[in-house]
Amino acid sequence: MSTPARNQLSTRITIPARQVSLADRELAVPTRDTTQIRRSVYLPRRELTPQRFTPPMITKRALTTDQSAFPFALPMPPELPATMTLLLPATIESKEVKKTKVRQKQLVLLLPAHNEELIIAETIRSAIAAGQKKQDIYVVNDNSSDKTEEIAIRMLGKANVLTVARSGKALAVKKAIDAFDLVIRYTWLHIADADSIFSQDYFRHYRSKLDPQKYAVAVGFVQSLRGNWISTYRALTYTYSQQVSRRIQSHLGMISVFPGPITCFRTDIIKDLEFGGTSLTEDFDITLQVHRKKLGNILFIPKAVNYTQDPQTLVDFCKQNMRWQRGFFQGIQKYKIGLHGQRIDISLGFQILLTILFLLQLFVLLPYILIVTGNWMIIPVIIAADLIVNATIAIFASIAAKRWMLIGALPYFYFLRWLEIGIYIKAFYEVIIKKRFQEEVIGWSTAGRRYELSKQALLDVAK
């Protein structure tokens, strides 16, 4: 700034003369007139704002033979005139500075939704009953064609509901994070499906365990809602896999997949995650990103149980499994699982190896033994041994889930398990061998999968 410009913005302050005593007059050196002292004070641009001006103190010593003998301080006027204040340069705080001053709340719940009118109201009610405050629940409506948006607004208010063009789950979540400023306002972001029904004290369990100094991600326990025979089968597999496999993974500091309904992220890692429509299973893709980028430790909270709807027909069961398996092999290929030395490579590589060994034993080793030995009694012995193992698993799962009906899944357990194995092999062939499903896709279809909940289905959830 030029000198004339500075002078225009400077403040001139006139300081009246001090009443000098007789002794002062005898000691004073009459070299200059002290009846009036004029002093120009330049106010730097970056040090003052009109709202926070603190006047400086100007100290002037009397001109005596001993200048240290009579010090005195003249305070500035307490306030500048309004006309003068308007001339002072103001410092405008940036948006980023303002954001850092916002005190973060601990936990926010975000529900991405697409055609969820049959269940979203129950989801929101259960979240509030499970300990989440209403004002800390948000819904992103991914271009639903039903009454999802209307129901969400009625329950949460318009300010907590965002409607976006069809984006797919992951991209819709990212749009909501930005639109609601969730990263700035909260320490933890919990993402759950809009068909999630929370158990009693779900969020209280979460809050008691979340520690941003130790963990970057936390996952709860996903369970199937009470329903038909497919739901019973899913409840059996969910219980065993999480009570055993996930506990082992958690002990090793590695979770192989962050399930959509039960995952919570520390918000400062959101900037490092890529949200897009290139994966059929966005939760698995995000899981592999967290591991590959080494974003932090992962916590398993088994007491935080979230109940989810499962397909009610065999056709929908197959469609959902096919999407899961295709998305699984998309992630395996995209992140080159098995070619790095991380724990996620070892874990997923071990899972794939077990499947391969199982198929080799069944279709290669067993026929070879039968042909060489000619002892066909081996088959019923193997079947009996397998039945004993699965019955033990079913009893364990029933006790753990407090659902004795899980034992009833044994008669059709083998049928559904072999159906899943066939889908697994088909997905491997399509994605890894044929290189299909490499283009951008928008997954997450709920057509035919949502249904109204009965009283029986809601026995385990928060009320």
Point out which residues pair with 141 in neighbouring strands. Answer: 113, 163
Quick one: pLDDT at residue 446? Answer: 66
Per the CB < 8 A criterion, the answer to whether 339 and 149 are in contact is no
pLDDT greater at residue 30 or residue 377: 377
| Residue-wise pLDDT tens digits, 64-107 | 444 444 444 445 555 544 444 344 444 444 444 344 455 688 99
Q: What is the mean pLDDT of the chain?
A: 80
- What whole-number distance in Å separates Cα of residue 156 and Cα of residue 180? 14
The DSSP annotation for 41-102 comes to E---TTT--GGG--PPEEEEE--BSSTTSSEEEEEPPSS--HHHHTTSPPPPPPHHHHHHTS
The structure's pTM equals: 0.75
Mean pLDDT of 368-376: 90
Using a pLDDT cut of 90, give the percent of the chain over it. 56
The DSSP annotation for 257-307 comes to ---GGGEEEEGGGGGGS---SS-S-HHHHHHHHHHHTT--EEEEEEEEEEE
Sequence spans of domains, the chain:
100-463
- Domain 100-463 CATH superfamily: Spore Coat Polysaccharide Biosynthesis Protein SpsA; Chain A (3.90.550.10)
Q: Is 12 helix (H, G, I), strand (E, B) or coil?
A: strand
Q: Give 104's DSSP letter.
A: P
Q: Is the pLDDT of residue 5 over 50?
A: no
Report residue 59 CA to chain centroid gap: 57
| Residue-wise pLDDT tens digits, 426-444 | 999 999 999 988 766 665 6
CB neighbours (10 Å) of residue 137? Answer: 23
Point out which residues pair with 189 in neighbouring strands. Answer: 108, 265
| Residue-wise pLDDT tens digits, 282-338 | 899 999 999 999 999 999 999 999 999 888 899 999 999 999 999 999 999 999 998
